Homo-oligomer: A and B are copies of this chain.
Amino acid sequence: MNSKAKLDAELRTQALLMSAIELLNWDQEVCMPPHGIYSRAALTGLLTSFFHQRVKDTILPLLREIEASPDIDEETRAEVRLMLEEAEIAEKLPTDLVRQFSEAASIAQQAWAQARAQSDFELFRPHLEKLVQLSQEKAQAIGYQTEPYEALLSLYERSVTPQQVEALFSELRPFLVETIRLCREANLLGLAGPPLRMPASQQKELIRRVVSQLGYDLSRGRIDESEHPFCTGISPDDVRITTRIYEDDLTMGLLSALHETGHALYEQGLPREPQGWPRTKAAYLSVHESQSRFWENHIGASLPFWTYLYEKVLPDYELDWLSDYSPLTLARRVNHIHPHLIRIQSDEVSYHLHILLRFELERALINGDISVRELPALWNEKIAEYLGLTVPTDAQGVLQDIHWSMGSFGYFPTYSLGSFLAAQLAEALTHSYPDWQERLAEGDGTLPLKWMREHIHQHGARYRMQELCERATGAPLSVQPFIRYIQQKVSLLYEGLAIPA
């Protein structure tokens, strides 16, 4: 067997191991009985260590051999280089640091949960300090060109630097602040109309129907409920999502299901062969998030979608509030702008100010410009400056998100990058299919999926996000499409309200 055939076989095994790990994680969230966690942690740890050990022992030498060989075509070589980059990062991280990090994160998560429950940052502080210090060591081990945070960001999104993220936010921030100001002036902050109540069993039925209509193949997937909704790609033929149902409001469960459906459509649309190669895997996080944001916001929060729901779906359920609404007033309700202390309860506009705040703070922490001790006060200042809100307790402030307690520094920016990319892809989609929204209003969701299959899904992780963006839209990633998207939506929903870019 030559090296290429050996690599094929090894990558196939890696893909299968990863799908076992995915299934273990899904089961842990959805099915596992409470006490199952004791041996589950050891099992997930075992398969993960098999996976990583094989990267170092088997995959890396094969990749080096093949990269140096003259016999392979340029496409293959490009993918080999992508894999090499990742495997070399794994190689650079000392086993001891990885172990220390994993233990510290595990303890920090417990401390964070307790600190949040008691709204007492001091309980969390020493653990966060430890994680920042270990993350700084991680950054040193990986290496960087201009600042330590660059190394951590690259773990989640390799084709973007902190400077680029900063530039995108600098361009966007005045628009976000101005939009919130204008909406407040126009008195758009409140909600009109009765709550969209719906029994859980009906919501589940409706969600199955709607996501199937949008192209999620449930013979290759399933929908469950969990505390924190998520999507798991076990294989392209087994892609599962969860959602969380609130009986007093249809919107939250439905939009969260659409978000996860975006992830699921991507996973279901990945090529099957050659198994384990980059082109069969999802790209880095911002590309994944572009898909979830597209289906959640550009579809789920759009007037055409609510027109379809209002005309074709909702009349099938006996909803006493339906007669109080029109498609337009429903879409207004879904799109109301209401700056909120909590990121995950925020609207599409103020959401990105939440991310900007976290990006600025975690970058300064990792680069050593601020200390963990200063964090709560800095958090509260920025919330006041960006959103005009006062933080009453740390539980509703600096302690609200789990990410830092997991040691995930560099992750937050991908949420915004995904939204920006979603808007840019939506413009390109409209260019290809100018009538996709009219057809969506009729209940036909095939065009967006067709376009994404062709321009995003079929490539898997062959290209970094920036290259994929250019190939799909003809331009590098920009915040301008996102700005235009918000402008258009606001002017469509609230006649006469125009927000300058």
Tell me how far the C-beta of A47 lies from the nearest C-beta in chain B, rounded to whole angstroms.
7
| Chain B residue nearest in CB terms to A42 | B16
Q: Interface size (A, Cβ < 8 Å)?
A: 33
CB-defined interface of A213-235 with B at 8 Å, one 1/0 digit per residue?
00001111110000000000011
Contact partners of A217 in chain B: CB under 8 A: 35
| Chain B residue nearest in CB terms to A34 | B219
Inter-chain CA distance A186–B13, complex, in Å, is 64
Binds B, one of A25-33, A93-101, A173-181, A348-356: A25-33
Inter-chain CA distance A90–B23, complex, in Å, is 29
Checking B40, B46, B237 against A38 with a beta-carbon cut-off of 8 angstroms, the contacting residue is B237
Checking B37, B38, B47, B234 against A20 with a beta-carbon cut-off of 8 angstroms, the contacting residue is B47
Q: How many monomers of this chain does the complex have?
A: 2
Q: Is A72 an interface residue (CB 8 A)?
A: no
Inter-chain CA distance A42–B235, complex, in Å, is 11
Tell me how far the C-beta of A18 lies from the nearest C-beta in chain B, rounded to whole angstroms.
10
Checking B31, B40, B220 against A31 with a beta-carbon cut-off of 8 angstroms, the contacting residue is B31
Inter-chain CA distance A219–B39, complex, in Å, is 14
Q: Is A238 an interface residue (CB 8 A)?
A: yes
Among A17, A33, A222, A234, the most chain B Cβ lie within 10 Å of the Cβ of A33
| Chain B residue nearest in CB terms to A224 | B31
Q: Is A43 an interface residue (CB 8 A)?
A: yes
Inter-chain CA distance A234–B23, complex, in Å, is 14
State whether A35 and B222 are in contact (beta carbons under 8 Å apart), knowing that A23-B24, A27-B27, A238-B40 are contacts in the complex: no
Among A13, A27, A37, the most chain B Cβ lie within 10 Å of the Cβ of A27
CB-defined interface of A30-65 with B at 8 Å, one 1/0 digit per residue?
011111111110110011000000000000000000
State whether A221 and B23 are in contact (beta carbons under 8 Å apart), knowing that A16-B39, A16-B43, A237-B38 are contacts in the complex: no
Q: Is A380 an interface residue (CB 8 A)?
A: no
Inter-chain CA distance A47–B217, complex, in Å, is 28
Q: Is A329 an interface residue (CB 8 A)?
A: no
Inter-chain CA distance A19–B36, complex, in Å, is 11
Q: Are B39 and A238 in contact (CB under 8 A)?
A: yes
State whether A220 and B19 are in contact (beta carbons under 8 Å apart), knowing that A13-B46, A27-B27 are contacts in the complex: no
State whether A33 and B235 are in contact (beta carbons under 8 Å apart), knowing that A16-B42, A16-B43, A20-B47 are contacts in the complex: no
| Chain B residue nearest in CB terms to A17 | B46
| Chain B residue nearest in CB terms to A49 | B13
Contact partners of A238 in chain B: CB under 8 A: 32-33, 35-36, 39-40
Known: A23-B24, A33-B219. 8 other contacts (CB 8 A): A31-B31, A33-B218, A33-B222, A35-B220, A35-B238, A36-B234, A36-B237, A39-B237
Q: Which residues of A contact B (CB under 8 A)?
A: 13, 16-17, 19-20, 23-24, 27, 31-40, 42-43, 46-47, 217-222, 234-235, 237-238, 240
Shortest Cβ-Cβ A-B pairs, 5 listed: A36-B238, A39-B235, A35-B237, A35-B220, A16-B43
